[in-house]
């Protein structure tokens, strides 16, 4: 079956702009989680959506937001971009709860 | 607060040798994951360890979980160059919670 897909794969933005990243989960998965990966901070949990509701949130500022649609696809938005937002953003899908997560290929965001 | 610590962070091995990566986590979590990441790529699921005493093996990799000691190990047997990658362990922050915390990763290099 098809895996988790993320678009776009690469993105270059400038400081102050905003960006929207998209994630399509594996068919049947209702949970989508987002992670930020940087060389300095490693992999950090951003938030999780399940059935269109944000269920868990990591320790990130309000500039980071997300949503989930009725078909379980999810978007993540970062407003007022800062240089430190440059990272690989990974989404992962699962059936929800305490189940194994499967990761997408990631979106590499560069903020200039 | 769940903390996940891996060691070593860097590991350079000769082909044919054995070694173990250790993963300690700070709170009760009876589910532990190991992932592999190649440079510039996403996370590939290696093992899901679901209970105390669980042991799983795939090729030259074997993972185990001791929930009492809050310790998981990833043992590499007779390393080959293809195993060169970064290995992460991760634990759920709690039941029914897709907030996963990752270790810092172990960058493994296998030399001929």
pLDDT tens digits along A40-87: 999 999 999 999 999 888 999 999 999 999 999 999 999 999 999 999
A103 vs B31: CB contact, 8 Å cut-off? no
Q: How many CA atoms lie within 13 A of B91 on its CB side?
A: 26
DSSP strand pairing (A107-111 vs A10-13):
parallel
CA torsion sign for B28, B42, A59, B22 is: positive
Closest to B92 (Cβ–Cβ): which among A42, A43, A98? A98
A/B interface, count of CB pairs below 8 Å:
58
> How large is the average pLDDT for residues A18-32?
96
A97 vs B98: CB contact, 8 Å cut-off? yes
The per-residue pLDDT for A80 is 97
| pLDDT bucket at B93, cuts 50 / 70 / 90 | confident
Interface of chain B toward chain A, CB-CB under 8 angstroms = 31, 33, 35, 41-45, 48, 88, 90, 92-93, 95-105
B88 vs A43: CB contact, 8 Å cut-off? yes
B98 vs A105: CB contact, 8 Å cut-off? no
CA torsion sign for B37, A22, A30, B96 is: positive
Report DSSP letters for A30-83, one per residue: -EEEEEEEETTTEEEEEEEEETTEEEEE-S--TTEEEEE-TTS-EEEEE-S--G
CA distance B13 to chain A (A): 23
Is the preceding omega at residue A8 within 30 degrees of 0, hence cis?
yes
B13-23 pLDDT, tens digit each = 999 999 999 99
| pLDDT bucket at B1, cuts 50 / 70 / 90 | confident
Quote the CA–CA distance of A50 and B103 in Å, as a whole number: 24
| pLDDT bucket at A31, cuts 50 / 70 / 90 | very high
Least confident of A7-11, A35-39, B48-52, B71-75: B48-52
Q: How far is CA B83 from the centre of its chain?
A: 13
A90 vs B42: CB contact, 8 Å cut-off? yes
Q: Which residue has the tokens 């509701």?
A: A53
Instruction: Tell me the average pLDDT of chain A.
Output: 94
């Amino acid at each position: 079956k098809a895996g988790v897909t993320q678009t776009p794969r690469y993105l270059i933005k400038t400081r102050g702009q905003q960006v929207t990243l998209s994630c399509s989960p594996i068919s049947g998965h209702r949970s989508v989680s987002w992670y930020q990966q940087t060389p300095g901070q490693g992999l950090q949990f951003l938030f999780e959506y399940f059935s269109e509701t944000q269920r868990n949130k990591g320790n990130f500022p309000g500039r980071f937001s997300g949503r989930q649609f009725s078909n379980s696809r999810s978007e993540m938005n970062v407003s007022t971009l800062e240089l430190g937002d440059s990272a690989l953003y990974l989404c992962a899908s699962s059936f929800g709860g305490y189940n194994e997560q499967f990761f997408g290929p990631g979106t590499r965001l560069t903020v200039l | 607060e769940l903390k996940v610590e891996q060691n070593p962070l860097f590991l350079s091995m000769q082909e044919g040798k054995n070694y173990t990566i250790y993963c300690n986590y700070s709170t009760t979590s009876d589910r532990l994951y190991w992932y592999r990441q190649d440079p510039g790529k996403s996370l590939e699921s290696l093992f899901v360890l679901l209970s105390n005493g669980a042991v799983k093996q795939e090729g030259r990799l074997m993972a185990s979980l001791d929930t009492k000691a809050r310790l998981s190990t990833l043992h590499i047997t007779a390393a080959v160059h293809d195993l060169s990658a970064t290995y992460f362990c991760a634990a759920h922050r709690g039941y029914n919670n897709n907030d996963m915390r990752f270790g810092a990763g172990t960058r493994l290099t296998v030399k001929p």
